[in-house]
Structure 1
């Protein structure tokens, strides 16, 4: 892995981890704004706790060395949660302000996944 790719990976991964951790905590403590947003989107507020826990666990999975299969699941979970958020905001006609966070986190998810080092990837054995 080139030095450039390693730098891209770590910058994207650190920002992704900070974004997912901070939003996961906000969802766990169910700030008023988050609860109101979930209600506006048509989701039950208890979903905040579920998503918050999974985001925090996903951050741990992405940052801890080894466990490449677990990392793939964490990246997939981040992709599904952020793409779901984007589609949910789109469905109710929200403006660009509401799209910024999920789009940024989705982009960081893709960049972090794409530039991850070989030791953080699943290596398929061929016969």
Structure 2
């Protein structure tokens, strides 16, 4: 992996981890503002806690060495969560200004996944 790709990978991965960890912690803490926000999108009260736990576990999977298959699952989970967030905002008729955080985390997920080094990929036999 060349230096440029390595910088892109680690920059996007660290920002992704920070974003997922911070939102995951807020969701696990189950504060009223987050609960109201998720309820406005149509989700039950227990959903943010479940989502938050999975985000935190995904960050751990992404940052620890090895465990390439688990990393793939974490990337998939982040992609589904953030694309689902975009659709949820649109379905709830939220203003377009509500989309950038979810779109940013979605973009960081794709960039981090695309630029991940060979040591963090699942190797397949041809």
The answer as to 2:117 corresponding to 1:117 is yes
Equivalent-residue separation in structure 2 for 1:55 and 1:97 (angstroms): 23
Q: Where does 1:1-127 land on structure 2 (aligned, <5 Å)?
A: 1-126=1-126
Equivalent-residue separation in structure 2 for 1:124 and 1:92 (angstroms): 41
The answer for unaligned runs of 5 or more in structure 1 is: none
Equivalent-residue separation in structure 1 for 2:100 and 2:34 (angstroms): 15
The answer for unaligned runs of 5 or more in structure 2 is: none
Give the TM-score of the pair, scaled to structure 2. 0.98
| 1:97 positional shift | 2.4
Give the TM-score of the pair, scaled to structure 1. 0.97
* Runs of 4+ off more than 2 Å: none
Give the superposed CA RMSD. 0.7
Equivalent-residue separation in structure 2 for 1:42 and 1:95 (angstroms): 16
Equivalent-residue separation in structure 2 for 1:40 and 1:18 (angstroms): 25
